[in-house]
């Protein structure tokens, strides 16, 4: 009797694990049309994007050169302004441009942790 109960519990745990794994895999493997993606993520926070898309395949931090003002001939340093943090996240093959093909890369640009720009690329 105990053996049957143990076997039933093991089957239940396995089934539950498979359902959870399948759900995570489907969410991570979702593709969007351009409009769906723009509507879903424009203006959203990094937290929302990561919750829906998972971790990006690559991240980059934008850094302003220390001599930027002298290069462009204009004072770009304003000590009274809050610093602007710019970060780009990259995802592969998640946005469709026709029913059978996806862009190779999608770039999401965050400014102070909010989506400010989204780009779709095939030439990188």
- What is the 3-state secondary structure of 49-79? HHHHHCCCCEEEECCCCCCHHHHHCCCCCCC
User: Cα torsion at 38, 42, 44, 49 (round to 10°)?
Assistant: 40
Share of the chain above pLDDT 70, in %: 65
Q: What is the pLDDT of residue 82?
A: 79
DSSP structure string for 84-99? P-EEEEEEES-EEEET
Q: What is the pLDDT of residue 14?
A: 56
- Confidence band of 24 (pLDDT split at 50, 70, 90): very low
Contact by Cβ (8 Å): 111, 93 = no
Q: Find, among 122, 124, 90, 87, the residue nearest to 106 by Cα.
A: 90
Q: Mean pLDDT of all residues in the chain?
A: 81
pLDDT in tens, 27-67: 457 999 999 999 999 999 999 999 999 999 999 998 776 66
Q: Global pTM?
A: 0.68
């Amino acid at each position: 009797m105990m053996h049957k109960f143990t076997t039933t519990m093991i089957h239940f745990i396995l089934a539950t694990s498979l359902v959870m794994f399948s759900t995570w895999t489907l969410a991570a493997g979702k593709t969007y049309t351009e409009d769906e993606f723009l509507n879903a993520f424009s203006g959203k926070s990094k937290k929302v994007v990561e919750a829906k898309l998972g971790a990006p395949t690559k991240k980059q931090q934008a850094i302003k050169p220390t001599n930027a003002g002298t290069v462009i001939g204009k004072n770009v340093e304003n000590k009274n302004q809050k610093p602007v943090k710019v970060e780009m996240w990259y995802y592969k093959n998640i946005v469709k441009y026709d029913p059978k093909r996806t862009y190779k890369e999608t770039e999401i640009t965050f400014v102070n942790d909010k989506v400010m720009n989204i780009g779709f690329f095939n030439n990188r």
